[in-house]
Amino acid sequence: MGRLDLTPEEEKELLSFIERYYHDLRVEIANTDDREFRRSLKHKEAVIRGILDRMKVMNV
């Protein structure tokens, strides 16, 4: 996949959006009874957590 160049304002907004999504995802995981669905949500959580960690290292 290619690289996406963003302005500082766009980076901040994207980080804020991803953080909100991550929070909502964790709530959904906690409220999910179906094991297979929970497993897929936990995979998404790990992917999103990795993205957040990398963005924060870049001082976004």
pLDDT tens per residue across span 20-57? 999 999 999 999 999 999 999 999 999 999 999 999 89
| pTM, 2 dp | 0.84
Q: Identify the band that residue 60 occupies on the pLDDT scale cut at 50, 70 and 90.
A: low
Query: Is residue 1 in some structural domain?
Result: no
Query: Is residue 21 in some structural domain?
Result: yes
Expressed as residue numbers, the domain containing 39 is: 8-57
Q: Please state, in angstroms and rounded to a whole number, the distance separating the CA atoms of residues 18 and 13.
A: 9
- Total of domains in the chain: 1
Query: Is residue 18 in some structural domain?
Result: yes
- Taking a C-beta distance cutoff of 8 angstroms, is the pair 55, 16 a contact? no
Query: Is residue 14 in some structural domain?
Result: yes
What was the pLDDT predicted at 33?
97
What was the pLDDT predicted at 43?
99
What was the pLDDT predicted at 49?
98
Query: Is residue 2 in some structural domain?
Result: no
Query: Is residue 13 in some structural domain?
Result: yes
What was the pLDDT predicted at 58?
84
- Taking a C-beta distance cutoff of 8 angstroms, is the pair 22, 52 a contact? yes
